[in-house]
Structure 1
Amino acid sequence: MEYSERLLTALINAAEFTKKQKLELCTPETVLYFICDDELFDSAFSDCGGDTDFLEADLYDYIENNIDRFNSETNTVQNSLALECALENAAISASNSGNREIEIKHFIHGMWQIEDLYAVYFIEKQGIKETDLLCAIAELDDEEQLPEDVIIKKRNDTDDHTYYNVEDDEEDDDDEFITGAESSRKSHRSTEGFVTCLNDSLGDVNPLIGRTEELERTMQILCRLDKNNALHIGDPGVGKTAVMYGLVKKIVSGDVPEPLKNARVYSFDIGSMLAGTKYRGDFEKRLKKALSDISRDENPVIYIDEIHNIAGAGATGEGSFDAANLLKPYLTDGKIRFVGATTYEEHKKYFEKNKSLIRRFQNVEIKEPSKDECIKILEGLKSRYEKFHGVKYADDVIPYAVEMSSKYINERFLPDKAIDLIDEAGAYLKLGLDKEVNKDQGNDPHLSSVTEMLLKEAGAVPVVDRGIINAVLTKICRVPVETVETEDMDGIAGLEEKLSALIFGQNEAIKQVVNTVKFSKAGLNDENKPLASLLFVGPTGVGKTEIARLLAQKLGLKLIRFDMSEYEEKHAVAKLIGSPAGYVGYEEGGLLTEEIRKNPSSVLLLDEIEKAHPDIYNILLQMMDHATLTDNQGRKADFRNVIIIMTSNAGASRIGKSVIGFESRDRDSSVVMEEVKRIFQPEFRNRLDRIVVFNGMDDSMAEKIIGKKLSELADKLAVKNITLEYAKAAADLIKKKGISSEYGAREADRVIRNEIKPLFVDDILFGKLKTGGKVFLSAVGDKFIIKSDQI
């Protein structure tokens, strides 16, 4: 079988080149190098999105660097084994197709049947598949007939990630690069998912409410002659995308200045454009093709959400081009106007470092709306969510949702977090009703829908009230129900009595603590400060830490405790807000800030604050003054819903000299306050809501504490069916050994653990109390004794 004229020309040129260059072998790469000179192949390759100049460069580099040469000229040309195989495969392909000659398409098909061939690799490197290239050749030459196996492969090829569209359906507009854009018959590149025309895809997006100033500023920038590119900068969730959709709606309705009339706004998805790119240049070609097609529009605007992603997108290494560099000529040209959206953090990280990029944009700051503005936004959106969920929002729910989301959802911004709250509240109520209806109707979905319809006809539309908002809020931000519900006021009303029943001899201190909490709950304190900032001072072992624990328990809050004796060194204090950059643990954040970020409503106990390094007060001042603490990575922890309690033993030694003992005495608070003034700086003391002075230990307190601890022991024994009774002598010995001026009541636990509990062990495990019984605890001299009887 003979070769066609075009293929024969390539083979002859390849042979002459091989002989002239003293190459030992003529390879498929050499033949393909001269096939690139064929006009039909060049056109087909270009139609597939390839560049024969790049292909020739790759082939020439391969020939120069990978094929050995003779030392002297030779008159013979030796074909490589790969070339012989390719020609043999081409002959078989031509024969099977019924062709009289072996054409270029058969040779290309023959190459693709050889594994690990550089000629094929260089073609695929440009994102071109075999079926695409052969179809393009066949389309350009009507006399060309594809090999039969290629036709079958083409029909069965359902690879969704094919970069080029080889379908030759000229009537299908969806196969064009941009929907609605006119392109040549040969341009079959498809980027569905890369570029979206927002004018045609507004759909049922939320309406833009307010933001008049930001919209006008954006339109003003887009109407400029030079540098007519706007950059929306704002925190996540404040409405940057909504502003853009509002602008598109204005363009569609014609309510825009003349330069923006009939503008078409296209949205770029950089992530989808990067997906599936294998070789260097793939991404650049997609982007440039998209920009080229969009530039044909009379009045195009490109919107790129998360525009910071263009920095580094498509770059293959240091010094290589990325999407930002590819866009710069278009940003300067002014024919295509750009609008980008990014956050403050990403703007600082990417844009501020790229001075040439940032000067091509004009900043439009999208700030978080105020609570009043947010209420207006939600009132405008309310009807959409009512229709979707089939519910009704009570009149007071919108302001309440804004207030509660601002108070408890700390790491997000209005209006996004408030919208999420009412949306989820609607879903919560709807799902709850569906469960009840299904339960009543025997899980019959038909009956459920009928019941729902009857409810609507009767006007009984379910209502989202404050209770539903509270229920959803507890799930979103892990806040106890008692904290957000109005009923928790009943708990606060009886809080003083509850604490007094568990903490003995500290009635005045308890009253001061509860009054401070009430004051905060009444909303009379500064909303930009913690709920309370308290300093507990007094002797050790009198209940300072215990009252903080019980306060958290009764209010349904988590207790976060830090032993400040662990922060005596300056470098240790840094752990609370995170290690400095370059130190171990920098990425982990601060111990204190992370705890508060996880538990925004809590009781924070800083035990023995005077033992910490003085640098701790720089942190405390920020917490108490503005209810925020910034960690090493710039993230803020919100302390507005935190009760801060610090304990100190300041003045304990001086009190002990005058009043420690078990005689009746009044608390000498002036002694304690003198020590507090000496130890703590004025700027720290002035930011405290209250300094609470605790009483020293006396007989009455000691007896009640011992009685409580023995009752706790009795409760543990009762679980094992053991009844405990004790004599006054046992209680007196515990008081003698466990109550002291130095440790308060702390040693009482040690006495019970080390001297009393061991008396029960053998009897419980092996003796009379193995199955339960009665125990009488007494004391003889300095020793405890027990008498046990089996049931």
Structure 2
Amino acid sequence: YNLINSIIFKFNDKPINNLYFNNLIKPFNYKSNFYNIINRKSDCVYLYEILNRKIIRNPILLGDFGIGKNSIIKKFSFFIEKFKLKFNNITKNLWILNIVTLLKYIKTNNLYIKKFFKFLQENKNIILICPKIEILFNTYYTDSNIYQNLESYSFLFKFFNYIKQNKLQLIGLSNNITDIEKKFNINQELNFLFEKIYVKELSNKEIFKILLKKSSLFEKYYNCSISFKIIKHILYYSQTYIKQHKTLLKSIWLLDNTCSKIYVNQKFHLLKNNNKLALSDIQKTLTKLINLSTNLLFNKANKTNFDIIALRKNLQKSLFGQPTAISKILISLKRVFTGLKQINKPIGSWLLCGPSGTGKTELAKLLAKFLFGSEADLIRFDMSEFMEKHSLSKLIGAPPGYVGYGKSGLLTEAIAKKPFTVLLFDEIEKAHKDINNLMLQLLDDGKLTDSLGKCVDFSNTLIFFTSNLGFPTNSYELQFLKSGTKLSKKNYKILSNKVESAIQSYFKPEFLNRLDDIIIFKPLNINFLKYIINKFLKNIYLKLYNNQIPIFLDIDSNIKTLL
């Protein structure tokens, strides 16, 4: 009973003496953060048009979190007050309804239902704003709720009757577009009660104006200086490297984190009286926020040659006997470092072919460490575990009606958590054909939609597929590869042609055409195998030294040859 209070309050300078449901229903206040709202006039005009109709007069604003649904309502409320807008010659006010709290408390006492509808009868000049309106639909349009929760169902039955009889108008808000569309498809009556409005994201120009307004607040709060040019960099970097949210939200998030970093550094005297935001501050903040190496901040022409040279040295030092593979990878990545990569596609995608132990997985590990900072940033899938058709659900989640529905897929969840990473699909030829079809979408659009309707961005990943196709095809070749004999150019050409023929006959052309390159790894000769042995022995020496174990290893070259 404490939630319902009889009070007198003012809204729009007009006293309303009525029941006021604290935390349940209250007048909508557009003045909070109103200064941030840019444009949205066309959305408000369409909203006003729908609310003035005779039928289908209840709009629902649909869009992802942070796209601007609340901003439209605030701007619309401002227009109502400024232009004294009327709805079919009736002056109406916007009130906001807390659906979650309302449904919670009507279960405890029928008094709430009576009070609520009495309030609606006495205040016919209101339009209810209903955030999370999908909760109403899910509660009312689910058969099981009739028996499990009679109080909620009876309340919503009367509530929807008010809407059908034009006794009540509301504006719904929802982030869950998929759920709303499903309800509209199943329950056709909703199409004659509500009009869906798909809210579009603001343009870069409009977002830039909002960031300029916001920057003055951050300058006062953090006692720092933010230039016009820095705002442009904030917008560019947030769009290019942060994929989880809408542009405005992630731009503000990046700006706030950068300002906070400057403020803290000043307090701890890590910066010498420098309170001006610089490009390097944004980049440092970004690398920590999203696990991004500075090697992937592409638009730095003066660093391009350095990055390529550093990467070449790194690969040559650890990947033995594969100069062709290194060269092809560097050519592809050179386009990336110079900013010529297509925005929506993955950073790069390659098919690595060759016998086991030639360095295919090692190449992926080295790139993960150089570009993203750690070998842990390599996500590997053994495709021999995905040979059945139903195993597709492991990657993107089970469809509705199947066991496991509601859980994210292994692939989509991994990339959603770590968008900057190296993906390795080991022995891709063993996967089911449907999974290969899934890869077409991944390589073409740089996006995958999981079973829950969530779109996951792959544009900041390097994708490697490995295959053993064509290696070896007979016992003679197997013995030849095991012996570690050096491969002549002629024999390598014959082997390459055989591998390419096997690849062309197995994989679809549309899959191969989407790859950056097909790289054939050479079988390693005895000299390179010794280099690899020395590399592992060096690691053993270091472990013994670090653990202070007094053992000295001296291994004869004949033993290395035998190994």
Matched, 1:530 2:346: yes
Q: Does 1:507 align with 2:323?
A: yes
Distance 1:432 1:711, change over 3 A: closer
Q: Distance in 1 between matches of 2:105 and 2:378?
A: 50
Task: Using the TM superposition, give the Cα deviation of residue 486 of structure 1 relative to its aligned residue in structure 2, in angstroms.
Answer: 6.7
Q: 1:634 to 1:481 in 2, by over 3 A?
A: same
The answer to whether the 8 Å contact 1:178/1:195 transfers is no
State yes or no: 1:240 paired with 2:69: yes
Match of 1:657 among 468, 477, 482: 477
1:556 aligns with 372
Partner AA of 1:339 in structure 2? I
- Identity between Structure 1 and Structure 2 (%): 29
> Is 2:239 aligned against 1:406?
yes
Shift of 1:555: 1.3
Residue identity opposite 1:205 in structure 2: F
Residue of structure 2 aligned with 1:214, choices 37, 43, 54: 43
Contact 1:509/1:694 (<8 A) preserved? yes
The CA deviation string for residues 360-404 of structure 1, in whole angstroms up to 9 with x for no partner, is: 222222022344443344334433443444333232333333333
Deviation at 1:512, TM superposition (A): 1.0
Which residues of 2 match residues 542-553 of structure 1 at below 5 A?
542-553=358-369
Deviates more, 1:608-617 or 1:305-314: 305-314
244-253 vs 219-228, greater mean Cα deviation: 219-228
Question: Which of 5, 14, 28 does residue 198 from structure 1 map onto?
Answer: 28
* Structure 1 residue 706 displacement after superposition: 2.3
Q: 1:664 to 1:315 in 2, by over 3 A?
A: closer
What TM-score comes out, normalization by structure 2 length? 0.85
Kindly indicate whether residue 391 of structure 2 is the aligned counterpart of residue 572 of structure 1. Answer: yes
Distance 1:473 1:630 in 2: 26
Separation in 1, partners of 2:542, 2:89: 79
State the one-letter code of the partner of 1:191: F
How do 1:227-626 residues align onto structure 2 when only pairs under 5 Å count?
Answer: 227-254=56-83, 263-277=92-106, 279-295=108-124, 297=125, 300-311=126-137, 312=139, 317=148, 321=153, 324-334=156-166, 337-343=169-175, 344-436=177-269, 462-480=275-293, 482-484=295-297, 490-556=306-372, 558-626=377-445
Secondary structure, in 3 states, of the residue corresponding to 2:552? strand
2:69 maps to amino acid? K
C-alpha separation between the residues in 2 aligned to 1:435 and 1:675? 62
Question: Where do residues 677-688 of structure 1 align in structure 2 (5 Å cutoff)?
Answer: 677-688=504-515
Q: Which has the larger displacement, 540-549 or 420-429?
A: 420-429
Describe the shift of the 1:322–1:687 C-alpha distance in structure 2 as closer, same or farther (beyond 3 A).
farther
Partner of 1:561: helix, strand, or coil? strand
8 Å Cα contact 1:386/1:392 also seen in 2: yes
Whole-Å Cα distance in 2 between the matches of residues 534 and 259 of structure 1? 62
Contact 1:560 1:605 survives alignment (8 Å): yes
- 1:578, distance to aligned residue in structure 2 (A): 2.0
Q: Is the 8 A contact 2:178 2:453 kept in 1?
A: no
Indicate if the aligned counterparts of 1:254 and 1:261 stay in contact, CA closer than 8 A: no
Deviation at 1:196, TM superposition (A): 2.6
State the shift of 1:562 in Å.
1.1
Work out whether residues 536 and 648 of structure 1, in 8 Å CA contact, stay in contact via their aligned partners in 2.
yes
Match of 2:8 in 1: 173
Other-structure match for 2:534: 707
CA offsets 1:541-564 (integer angstroms, 9 cap, x no match): 111111111111111250001112
SS in 2 for 1:266: strand
Structure 2 residue identity aligned to 1:707: N
Is residue 2:501 matched to residue 1:696? Answer: no
Preserved CA contact (<8 Å) 2:383 2:425: yes
Is the deviation greater in 577-586 or in 655-664? Answer: 655-664
Q: Is the 8 A contact 1:177 1:293 kept in 2?
A: no
CA 1:431–1:692 in 2, change beyond 3 Å: closer, same or farther? same
Per-residue CA deviation, residues 718-741 of structure 1 (Å, 9 max, x unaligned), is: 2325463535xx3323323x3xxx
- Give the conservation status (yes or no) of the 8 Å contact 1:706–1:735: no
Secondary structure of 1:704's partner?
helix
Tell me: CA distance 1:413–1:432, structure 2 relative to 1, closer, same or farther (3 Å).
same
1:625 touches 1:687 (CA, 8 Å); kept in 2?
Answer: yes
CA, structure 1 residues 382+626, in 2 after alignment: closer, same or farther (shift >3 Å)? same
Residue 552 of structure 2, aligned match among 709, 714, 724: 724
Contact 2:299–2:338, Cα closer than 8 Å, also in 1: no
Contact 1:600 1:642 in 2 (8 A): yes
For the pair shown, which has the larger CA radius of gyration, 1 or 2? 1
Find the aligned partners of 1:471 and 1:220 in 2 and give their Cα distance.
48
RMSD across aligned C-alpha pairs, in angstroms?
3.3
Asked whether the 8 Å contact 2:486–2:524 carries over to 1, the reply is no
- Counterpart contact for 1:371–1:403, Cα < 8 Å: no
- What are structure 2's unaligned runs of at least 5 residues? none
CA contact (8 A) 1:577 1:630 kept: yes
- Aligned equivalents of 1:424, 1:325: Cα separation in 2: 47
Closer, same or farther: CA 195–387 of 1 in aligned 2, 3 Å = farther
Q: Deviations over 1:476-525 (max 9, x none)?
A: 44445554487885444410111101111111211211221221232212
Q: CA deviation at 1:342?
A: 1.5
SS in structure 2 opposite 1:615? helix
CA distance in 2 between counterparts of 1:328 and 1:588 reads 33
Unaligned ranges ≥5, structure 1: 1-126, 128-160, 166-171, 441-454, 739-791
Deviation per CA, 1:201-256, whole angstroms, max 9, x where unpaired?
A: 62443432122321221122223344432221112210001011011112222275
Do 1:222 and 1:228's aligned partners in 2 also have CA atoms closer than 8 Å? yes
Over 3 Å counting, the alpha-carbon distance change for 1:256 and 1:419 in structure 2 is farther
The structure-2 alpha-carbon separation of the partners of 1:202 and 1:334, relative to structure 1 and needing over 3 Å to count, comes to farther
The secondary structure found in structure 2 opposite 1:511 is helix
SS at match of 2:312: helix
TM-score (norm 1): 0.62
1:261 Cα offset (Å): 8.9
Residues 485/323 of structure 1: CA separation in 2 closer, same or farther (3 Å cut): farther
Q: Is the 8 A contact 1:629 1:636 kept in 2?
A: yes
CA distance in 2 between counterparts of 1:733 and 1:424 reads 56
> 1:493/1:369 Cα in 2 relative to 1: closer, same or farther (>3 Å)?
farther
Q: Give the superposition deviation at 1:675.
A: 2.1
Could you tell me how far apart the structure 2 residues matched to 1:250 and 1:402 are? 29
